[in-house]
Amino acid sequence: MIKILAVTNQKGGVGKTTTTVNLAASLAVAKKRVLLIDLDPQGNATMGSGIEKRDLQISVYNVLLGNKTIGQARKTAGACGYDVLPSSRDLAGAEVELIDMPNREMRLRDSLQAIISEYDYILIDCPPALNLLTLNGLCAAKTVMIPMQCEYYALEGLSDLVNTIRKVRADLNPTLEIEGLLRTMFDPRNALAQQVSAQLESHFGNKVYRTVIPRNVRLAEAPSYGVPALYHDKTSKGTQAYLALAGEMLNMHAKIESA
């Protein structure tokens, strides 16, 4: 069954795009058919997948406005093994244009119907804000992954995000669920990080992924080369963590489907 996963957090700088790109590459290595959708006007997931956003003639912007299909807009992420529905700077103005459109929160969901059977996983990189672009991601998705750092302010932001997801489920997407919380940029030597991590596990239980993403130089370097970390340094701790996350997800989904 197709898995459509929105990767979101209203707080910026938590490793959201890093997670989307590296999880897409890790799932592709596991022979899964993957589409990455870049809903962030900054286009970092597009660039991190080796696609030059300044050269794009068609992007997710055109898909949301309804004048192009996903089949026309998607690109292949080179040798990385997954497809990308890329973002361009035009997307920054899309929200204003979407306001008066019918079904404005469902534009992405409706566009996906034509290609949904071609993929096993669709990962949606949402912008770090609750706007119409993020709402399109949450309405198209079946589950949500929340990357977060283990620090004090992250807990406060998490409460707001959980409330947002509840509202979306009540008003727009009744099947939306939180799939998991992913601890990112984790430093085990930091006492506060350990305390926040323990609080997350206590409150959210098995909704917290066992896999923890460490702070890692190779993860930070990879976007400047236009590749996921797997194709920059496959032996790095960051790469191995995202491969482990993909494995954890695949095992979890296999158990759910068999049950």
| CATH code, domain carrying 254 | 3.40.50.300
- Segment 181-193 shows an average pLDDT of 89
In whole angstroms, what is the distance from residue 28 CA to residue 63 CA? Answer: 24
Count of domains for the chain: 1
Least confident range of 31-40, 76-85, 157-166: 157-166
pLDDT of res. 151: 83
pLDDT of res. 47: 96
- Segment 246-250 shows an average pLDDT of 97
Q: Could you write out the DSSP letters of every residue in 136-188? A: HHHHH-SEEEEEEESSHHHHHHHHHHHHHHHHHHHHT-TT-EEEEEEEEEE-T
| Nearest by Cα to 68 from 120, 126, 118, 107 | 107
In whole angstroms, what is the distance from residue 133 CA to residue 254 CA? Answer: 30
Q: 68 pLDDT band (50/70/90 cuts)?
A: very high
Residue 147: is its pLDDT beyond 90? yes
Residue 190: is its pLDDT beyond 90? no
How many Å is the Cα radius of gyration of the chain?
A: 17
Residue 128: is its pLDDT beyond 80? yes
Q: Are 240 and 248 in contact (CB under 8 A)?
A: no
Q: Please name the residue ranges forming H helices in the chain.
A: 16-29, 44-48, 60-65, 70-73, 94-98, 107-112, 132-140, 152-171, 191-204, 217-221, 237-258
Residue 219: is its pLDDT beyond 80? yes
In whole angstroms, what is the distance from residue 19 CA to residue 168 CA? Answer: 23
> What residues make up the domain containing 65?
3-258
Give me 232's structure tokens.
Answer: 């920059």
Q: Tell me: the pLDDT tens digits for 16-59? A: 999 999 999 999 999 999 999 999 999 999 999 999 999 999 99
Give the whole-number percent of the chain exceeding pLDDT 90. 78
pLDDT of res. 97: 92
Give me 106's structure tokens.
Answer: 């469902």
Partners of 122 in beta bridges: 4, 35
Give me 12's structure tokens.
Answer: 């910026």
With 0.75 as the threshold, say if the pTM is over it.
Answer: yes
Residue 153: is its pLDDT beyond 80? no
Strand order in the sheet with 143-149: 75-76, 83-85, 34-38, 121-125, 3-7, 143-149, 177-186, 208-214
pLDDT of res. 193: 86
pLDDT of res. 22: 97
